[in-house]
Amino acid sequence: MNSDNALHFDVALVLDLLGVFFFAVSGSLLAARKGFDMVGSLLLGCLVGLGGGVIRDLIISTAVPAAFSQPLYLAPPLLAAVLVHLLFSHVERGGRLLIIFDAGGLALFCITGTLKALVAGLNPVAAILLGVTTAVGGGLLRDITANEVPQLFDSKDLYGIPAFLGAGLTTVLFSTGLLNLFSGSAVAVAVFTFRILAWHFGWHAPLAARRNRAGAVPG
């Protein structure tokens, strides 16, 4: 591994672990809202925190996904489950906190997924697609497991588009040699801000088909 790839690996590892923690908190918060026990909270946190990364590593043919080969990846979901267990009675029971932590995970994972794909030699388009898959995969698994409508398919919200933005910016920075911990963090902040603003103001993409006034899709 040359020095540039080693630097990118260090950036990816730091952002990856932070992303696992943010996503795991969102999973544990959802588990608490659903009345799951500590085991259920930990498992849901692991599913959302590690699921996207496992999908990413399997696609780029990593022999053993990082979630299984590096025990360090298990620490963030455990910490998240304990923190939510201790603090949940003192925090808002609505969805705002869950959205905030989910947005943090989304912002970080779209960067790390894209970066790992680029370092593995994938072309820019494939790297962007894999970055988006990494970002939305865990949340999709979380929502389906908890019997929630996946945020990815919510017509009144933007979820995938902020991930595409982050993956695209990461690819540009990598290609120009400007990607480092500072610039990567700036991209994460931009994606996080975009995601929160979209949720707050109800921004959404055009529907797949136009509806008439009665709400039905014209035949």
Q: What is the mean pLDDT of residues 137-144?
A: 92
User: By the 8 A CB rule, do 126 and 60 touch?
Assistant: no
Backbone angles phi, psi at 4, to 5 degrees: -65, -45
- The closest alpha carbon to 164, from 120, 198, 119, 141, belongs to 198
- End-to-end Cα spacing for the chain: 57
User: By the 8 A CB rule, do 4 and 180 touch?
Assistant: no
Residues of the chain with pLDDT > 90, as a percent, come to 56
User: By the 8 A CB rule, do 45 and 77 touch?
Assistant: yes
Here the tokens at position 109 are 């994972």
- Regarding predicted confidence, which is higher, 27 or 2? 27
Confidence tier at 195 by pLDDT (50, 70, 90): very high
Q: d(Cα 47, Cα 116) in Å, to the nearest integer? A: 20
- Regarding predicted confidence, which is higher, 153 or 22? 22
Confidence tier at 25 by pLDDT (50, 70, 90): very high
Which amino acid does the sequence have at 131? Answer: G
Q: d(Cα 192, Cα 108) in Å, to the nearest integer? A: 9
**Residue-wise pLDDT tens digits, 199-211:** 999 888 887 776 6
Here the tokens at position 202 are 């109800």
Here the tokens at position 35 are 């009345």
Whether the pLDDT of residue 213 is over 90: the answer is: no
Lowest-confidence segment of 38-42, 86-90, 148-152, 189-193 by average pLDDT: 86-90
Highest mean pLDDT among 6-10, 68-72, 158-162: 158-162
Q: d(Cα 89, Cα 145) in Å, to the nearest integer? A: 23
Q: d(Cα 112, Cα 135) in Å, to the nearest integer? A: 9
Whether the pLDDT of residue 193 is over 90: the answer is: yes
Polymer length of the chain? 219
Question: Based on C-alpha coordinates, what's the Rg of the chain?
Answer: 18
Q: d(Cα 118, Cα 130) in Å, to the nearest integer? A: 10
